[in-house]
Amino acid sequence: MSALQFVQEKQVPFLLNALSLCIISFMLLLFNLPVNVIVLINTISIFFFLCTMMFEFYRMKHYYGNLMAIFEQLDEKTLIADIVQEPTFHSGQVFYNILKNATKVMNDRISSLKNSQQEYYDYIEMWVHEVKTPITALRLILENHRTSEKIHIQTEISKIDGYVEQALYYARSSTLNQDYRIETFPLHSVVNGAVKSLSLTLIRASTQINTDQLNLKVTSDPKWIIFILKQLIDNSVKYRSPSLELSFTAKKIEGGTVLSISDNGIGINESDLRRIFKRGFTGTNGRNYARSTGMGLYLCNNLCEKLGLSIKASSQKEKGTEIQIFFPDKLNTFD
């Protein structure tokens, strides 16, 4: 609170005090008091009034300034009412009680939402594990039965498995800070893990895979990186040209390492490119070429942000798409 703001807030007391001094001075003149006595009385009155106002100003300025300083330093802003001291002046006490009660209501609601979120997360975990059981059983049945449609059925089962995994990782992404393990690993380990997991899909797409410099090491959570790579590979398969060529290339740059995943697919419209990481965005390709939920790239971007990585895309229509993931040397996660 500045002095000008305080004067504007207290303008009514200032005006009333000035009016009272004028009335008192006029009445004293009627009693024929000397002018110097009237001036002395007015000076004393003004002095004590200004002292009162200055005391009030510095008391309020100190309290609210301290309140703002504490608020800005807090990571959990909702704890402000539990930390700040109760003021000694009445108007501040009213504000303090309102803040404390409002904060309590807000914290109760936040707690309720967190509990609901945890219940949702637990349910998704349970649902995924339950669904994976019949998926595994179907794969075992197919292994023991020869049929001309076996490859097609296996492909569809893999798609179901992929969507189930996507649901699980989407649920886990909100609590990623409780479910990650940071390691230093060579990039070829996560690329091979993702490719192996989607091997049947890649074989059916007649995919040629090229790799370069994947012996470079990065620091992150390999499990989540494999999931991200699987989403990117799946997109390349969905929007492929007749013969899919998939390249994984890494290079060391200042401050970190870049992993590039490029394909020779149908590419992305320039108008869609800036929105592909938005939740639920499917774009022209998603509507025209394949069924798309618009969640894969959104999850990739979301997880990269939480892992302290960055991801960007570049593409040319009918020439292919390149996704780059930047792994910084100094990892800074979950800020």
283-331 per-position pLDDT tens digit: 666 666 556 667 888 889 989 998 899 999 999 888 889 999 999 988 7
Beta-carbon contacts of 52 under 8 Å, excluding residues fewer than 6 positions away, are none
Beta-carbon contacts of 28 under 8 Å, excluding residues fewer than 6 positions away, are 37, 38, 41
- C-alpha span between 332 and 98 (Å, rounded): 38
Contact 300, 277 (CB under 8 A): yes
Q: What's the 3-state SS for 95-136? A: HHHHHHHHHHHHHHHHHHHHHHHHHHHHHHHHHHHHHHHHHH
Work out the number of other CB atoms within 10 angstroms of the CB of residue 10: 14
pLDDT for res 335? 46
Domains defined along the chain, listed by start: 3-106 (no CATH), 183-328 (3.30.565.10)
Contact 191, 248 (CB under 8 A): yes
Instruction: Collect the ranges in the chain with pLDDT lower than 70.
Output: 1, 174-179, 283-293, 332-335
Work out the number of other CB atoms within 10 angstroms of the CB of residue 111: 10
pLDDT for res 227? 92
Comparing C-alpha atoms, which of 311, 289, 329, 142 is closest to residue 228? 311
Q: What's the 3-state SS for 254-279? A: CCEEEEEEEECCCCCCHHHHCCCCCC
Work out the number of other CB atoms within 10 angstroms of the CB of residue 229: 25
pLDDT for res 142? 80
Work out the number of other CB atoms within 10 angstroms of the CB of residue 322: 16
**What strands, in cross-sheet order, belong to the sheet with 208-212?**
208-212, 245-253, 256-263, 320-328, 310-316
- C-alpha span between 126 and 139 (Å, rounded): 21
Beta-carbon contacts of 106 under 8 Å, excluding residues fewer than 6 positions away, are 78
158-175 per-position pLDDT tens digit: 888 888 888 887 777 766
> Would you state the structure tokens that stand for residue 238, as one six-digit string?
């969905």
Contact 41, 27 (CB under 8 A): no
pTM: 0.64
Beta-carbon contacts of 96 under 8 Å, excluding residues fewer than 6 positions away, are 81, 84, 86, 87
- C-alpha span between 122 and 146 (Å, rounded): 38
